[in-house]
Amino acid sequence: MSFTTEIYTIMTTDTSLNALVDGGIHYENLIDNWLGQTDADAWIVYEFRKQNQGDCISSKNIYMDYELSVVVIQRNTNTLIDEITNRCIDYLNNMEDGNVYDIAFKSDQGGFNQQQQIYTNTLSFDCVYTKT
């Protein structure tokens, strides 16, 4: 399996997180005109990037460090975004699954888009993915 496949499974498997996010959990992009085409109030969009590779004396590229960004989007109120944010951090922090050896919470950054009338909170995590 690849990191892409494993992180997708991790992001979409938790039923309590999915129950809070009625617009769904999406990799990189939401559907076009997502605010106008749905009655949903909350979404998660995530993406990742490679940061560096871990080597050992006898082996190269035995693990890869990734930065995972999770954007929580809430349409109406800042109350639910706190609940979704806390659930997401609790769920992902210290996660080990498959070849994803560790996910560690780093920071968050809240925001409000006045034009679209949405609240956002961008969560940042470090991930270690083993190459076994």
Nearest to 19 by CA among 111, 103, 83: 83
Domain boundaries of the chain, sorted by first residue: 3-130
Distance (Å, whole) CA 16 – CA 64: 29
Does residue 90 contact residue 108 with C-beta atoms inside 8 Å?
A: no
In the CATH scheme, what is the code of domain 3-130? 3.30.2000.10
Do the Cβ atoms of 100 and 6 come closer than 8 Å?
yes
User: Residue 128 and residue 123: Cα distance in Å, rounded?
Assistant: 17
3-class SS of residue 86: helix
Cα four-point dihedral sign 83, 88, 91, 93: negative
Q: What is the pLDDT along the chain (132 residues), one digit of tens a residue?
A: 798 999 999 999 999 999 999 888 999 888 776 777 677 788 999 999 998 877 666 666 667 899 999 999 988 776 677 899 999 999 999 999 989 999 999 999 999 888 888 899 999 999 999 876
